């Protein structure tokens, strides 16, 4: 089990999982649907299964590319820690478990499960033909809040869609920053990315624009829902983390990319979600 956790970088679940919790509790607190522990566990399982499948499939599909890239040479499949067949079997098992879990939630989740799997798996192909691969990754993770909301309510709503858009722009922006490390390698292997297509300076400018839209999407729910001071604090912290990562990475200095990618974005999602949940608690039980 430890080697499979390494294969899928389980710790990186910290990016989308907090937004899934936002979608879940948004559905519980703004609609007549009651809180249900079993449903919460099923949503968490769906998140784990979908992400396991997506990450393992990416490692499986990119195994030959990873073996050529000095930065990724020691990933599990090129390093021989996990065989390609083991990774593919792991993908198939997680896809099946994901679909089965959605069947226990509601019909809409079950019917949409193949669409969700297509999106998260399709990302792994995109770097082979489009520089917009970062947006496809963002789209895959953006399913977390709206998916969790649908799990609770069986319906769509503008507010969880706004949170999904926030994740789409946020993830796309920080994935562009992360891809700066492979700019020259991507060019040499004829792989597509925003940095290899636009260069470092323009790639960073585009990342800033995407993060601006992400910030806008976490502010817009204020127009549709009443919030306490806790939510505003969460928005401010989320914004500050996005600004901070752009201060860390410059066109002439990308040495702090990993710090900007993992640390700042991890804090951004977790603290924002904690503030959202605190706001929910304050408004629901203490009438703030």
What pLDDT, in 10s, does the model give residues 203-243? 999 999 999 999 999 999 999 988 999 999 999 999 999 99
Closest by alpha carbon to 117, among 140, 151, 88? 140
Asked if residue 13 has pLDDT above 70, the reply is no
- Residue 62 tokens read as 């990119």
pLDDT digits (tens, 9 = 90+) for 147-199: 999 999 999 999 999 999 999 999 999 999 999 999 999 999 999 999 999 99
Question: CATH number, domain at 109?
Answer: 1.10.357.140
CA quadruple 180, 186, 191, 196: dihedral positive or negative? positive
pLDDT of residue 284: 76
Show the beta-strand stretches assigned E in the chain: none
pLDDT digits (tens, 9 = 90+) for 271-285: 999 999 999 988 876
pLDDT digits (tens, 9 = 90+) for 20-61: 999 999 999 989 999 999 999 999 999 999 999 999 999 999
Judged by DSSP in three states, 250 sits in strand
pLDDT digits (tens, 9 = 90+) for 14-23: 788 999 999 9
pLDDT of residue 239: 96
Contacts of 17 (CB under 8 A, 6+ apart): 44, 47, 144, 269
Which phi and psi angles does 250 have, rounded to 5°? -120, 160
Asked if residue 247 has pLDDT above 60, the reply is yes
pLDDT of residue 82: 87
To the question of pTM greater than 0.85 for the whole model, the response is yes
Q: How many other β-carbons are positioned within 10 Å of the β-carbon of residue 60?
A: 21
Q: Domain span at residue 74?
A: 2-285
Q: How many domains does the chain have?
A: 1
Here the contacts of 102-105 (C-beta below 8 Å, separation 24 or greater) are 102/46, 104/42, 105/39, 105/42, 105/43, 105/46, 105/151
CA-to-CA separations, 157 to 23, 48, 110, 118, 226, in angstroms, rounded: 10, 24, 18, 23, 16
pLDDT digits (tens, 9 = 90+) for 85-142: 999 999 999 999 999 999 999 999 999 999 999 999 999 999 999 999 999 999 999 9
């Amino acid at each position: 089990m430890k080697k499979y956790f390494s294969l899928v970088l389980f710790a990186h679940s910290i990016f989308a999982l907090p937004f899934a919790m936002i979608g879940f509790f948004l559905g519980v607190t703004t609609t007549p649907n009651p809180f249900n522990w079993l449903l919460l566990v099923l949503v968490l399982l769906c998140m784990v299964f979908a992400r396991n499948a997506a990450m393992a499939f990416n490692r499986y599909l990119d195994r030959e590319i990873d073996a050529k890239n000095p930065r990724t040479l020691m990933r599990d499949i090129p390093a021989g820690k996990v065989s390609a067949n083991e990774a593919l079997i792991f993908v198939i098992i997680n896809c099946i478990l994901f679909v089965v879990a959605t069947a226990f939630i509601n019909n809409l989740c079950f019917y949409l499960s193949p669409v969700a799997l297509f999106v998260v798996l399709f990302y792994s192909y995109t770097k082979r033909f489009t520089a917009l691969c970062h947006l496809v990754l963002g789209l895959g993770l953006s399913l977390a809040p709206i998916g969790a909301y649908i799990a609770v309510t069986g319906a769509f709503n503008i507010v969880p869609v706004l949170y999904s858009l926030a994740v789409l722009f946020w993830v796309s922006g920080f994935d562009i920053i992360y891809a700066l490390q492979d700019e020259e390698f991507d060019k040499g292997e004829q792989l597509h990315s925003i940095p290899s297509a636009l260069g470092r300076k323009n790639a960073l400018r585009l990342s800033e624009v995407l993060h601006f839209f992400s910030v806008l999407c976490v502010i817009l729910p204020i127009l549709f829902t009443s919030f306490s001071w806790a939510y505003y604090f969460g928005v401010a912290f989320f914004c500050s983390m996005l600004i901070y990562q752009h201060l860390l990475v410059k066109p002439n200095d990308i040495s702090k990319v990993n710090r900007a990618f993992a640390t700042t974005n991890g804090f951004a999602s977790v603290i924002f979600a904690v503030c959202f949940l605190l706001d929910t608690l304050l408004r629901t039980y203490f009438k703030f």
